[in-house]
Homo-oligomer: A and B are copies of this chain.
């Protein structure tokens, strides 16, 4: 393939650069007006306290949806929600081919099926190649905290980009292959123009550690608590960890019960693709309650303190299949995702209050991260030797630190390109040449809305000082026919009464000639009354109803 003078190779993140979550990386090749695009990952992020009522947040894909005829395909690197979670929601706007390795394909297909979407997912073998003109794509197997994490090597006539996806270096990941260092070195020898690379743990010195270290500890801990019921909570997608628990239980003469839907689902996906098929069969949740305490380990969801999860119900003693008593043990084989600290603390307090012993990664080595720490990043840069380091998968502070770190490793260029930045990689020096529309889509109930139009912010406002809706009923001449109604929520009754009086006075005080002016007058009077009685101003909306009736 010949390179034309106007051809460019660009990188454009629409998600995941400036946040940890919602990954969406685009690679473009060709002249600006006729560029072809390759998408890598299409994830979601979860709403938090700043977005009440919004559980799922997705990238704004307007830019690429408008160019979907030039989108040659979507490759998903691995099966975590922040990489595949938006596929079912957004594919209808893209209608492109989807490529994934076998295990990830099972997870993506399940999502598509659930959403009743008829998209085709092509399975690519580990280490496989796909030709998506003008991109020649090769998958390179890495290690992470889920089976089949893939880096994507994207070869173009203007150079090769390596999209690492999420990774760590684990010499003994227990389930799946080890990091394909050989392939990375080979790619480095061949020459890599740019590498977009995981920034999650850039502040953490050393190495993440191997999944195998955790196995030894969990095996010992389960063996050390004979005669007590044991529950282990872990991320369901960490199939190696699930295997560890099952094997540790077996070594201690116990069965393992899967408690929680996502546990069962993930085990089924893993077994259907040939992973963990050698394990003793798991006990069904319904039968678990009939097995005596010393003979079982409950492997359950809920490590983040999620309401209604298996562990939350176990903590309150509500879970019929997994009853725990004082002296029993819960192992948190997980970390606390930032933002969940209070919720997890509350769960642990509920367990502690019932006399249950809690083991976490702060007192025992029962969890390892799936992301590269500084020494691992240094290894990766040494193997791949990119000319341009592009930190992704991080908040701005992580990306800035990753840039500094890459520079310290003698990478010639390191560029922080936040979501929406079109970064030209070739020809010439890496330069941000454009900012395209980008942002977040809130899934509010079933309704997707742009973050800027989202009502989550208004609702958050309601949570501070409540709301009052006033309806004033007047006659044709604007005279009050009766006292205005005031319906409120979140406002103390004494305050609401003062507000009601204020509305009445304002409505009766003067004729309402103009609806808008009258409504504003009442609104102000009502808010003033709240401020005076309460020290806070609720949101107030006023409607004027004009009836052709006489005053009584």
* Chain A residues within 8 Å of B, Cβ to Cβ: 18, 48-50, 52-53, 203, 338-339, 341-342, 345, 348-349, 351-353, 355, 358, 362-363, 395-397, 400-401, 444-447, 449, 455-456, 458-471, 473, 481-482, 485, 487-492, 494-495, 534-536, 539, 541-543, 545, 547-550, 552
Contact = CB atoms under 8 A, between A and B. Distances in A.
Given A455-B466, A549-B547, A339 B342 contact: yes
Contact of A459 (B466, B473, B534): B466
A494 B355 CA distance: 50
Contacts of A542: 487
8 tightest Cβ-Cβ pairs between the two chains A and B:
A469-B469, A549-B549, A469-B487, A52-B463, A459-B490, A471-B471, A445-B535, A352-B397
Nearest to A490: B459
A365 to B, nearest CB: 14
Contacts of A203: 362-363
B458 A489 contact: yes
B459 A464 contact: yes
B494 A447 contact: yes
21 contacts: A50-B342, A53-B536, A338-B345, A352-B400, A353-B396, A353-B400, A355-B400, A444-B534, A444-B536, A445-B536, A447-B495, A447-B535, A459-B490, A467-B467, A468-B469, A469-B469, A471-B487, A471-B543, A485-B543, A485-B545, A488-B541
Contacts of A349: 18, 395-397
Nearest to A460: B463
Contacts of A463: 52-53, 456, 459-460, 462-463
Nearest to A351: B397
A371 to B, nearest CB: 16
Given A52-B464, A447-B495, A459-B463, A482 B545 contact: yes
A198 B449 CA distance: 48
B445 A396 contact: no
A467 B445 contact: no
Contact of A541 (B52, B487, B547): B487
A459 B469 CA distance: 15
Contacts of A341: 338-339, 341
Nearest to A418: B353
Contacts of A491: 455
How many copies the complex holds: the figure is 2
Interface hub of A353, A445, A542 (most chain B Cβ within 10 A): A445
A548 B482 CA distance: 10
A455 to B, nearest CB: 5
Given A53-B490, A339-B342, 17 more contacts: A53-B464, A338-B341, A338-B342, A341-B341, A349-B396, A349-B397, A352-B401, A445-B535, A445-B536, A447-B494, A459-B489, A462-B466, A469-B487, A473-B545, A488-B541, A547-B547, A549-B549
Contacts of A550: 549
A416 to B, nearest CB: 9
Contacts of A469: 467-469, 471, 485, 487-488
Contact of A395 (B345, B489, B490): B345
A263 to B, nearest CB: 25
Contact of A462 (B355, B446, B449, B490): B490
A481 B339 contact: no
Contacts of A494: 447
A456 B49 CA distance: 14
Nearest to A487: B469
Contacts of A545: 471, 473, 482, 485
Contacts of A444: 492, 534, 536
A462 B489 contact: yes
Contacts of A534: 444-447
A465 B348 CA distance: 29
A258 to B, nearest CB: 26
Contacts of A53: 463-466, 490, 536
Given A485-B545, A487-B542, A397 B348 contact: yes
Given A445-B534, A447-B495, A534-B445, A539 B489 contact: yes
Q: Counting chain B CB atoms within 10 Å of each CB, which of A401, A468, A473, A485 scores highest?
A: A485
Most B CB atoms within 10 A — which of A396, A459, A461, A535?
A459
Contacts of A400: 352-353, 355
A411 to B, nearest CB: 19
A463 B397 CA distance: 30
A542 B549 CA distance: 22
A18 B341 CA distance: 17
Contacts of A490: 53, 455-456, 458-459, 462
A18 to B, nearest CB: 8
A464 B490 CA distance: 13
Contact of A487 (B50, B353, B447, B543): B543
Contact of A473 (B338, B342, B395, B473): B473
Contact of A548 (B50, B485, B539, B552): B552
A449 B492 contact: yes
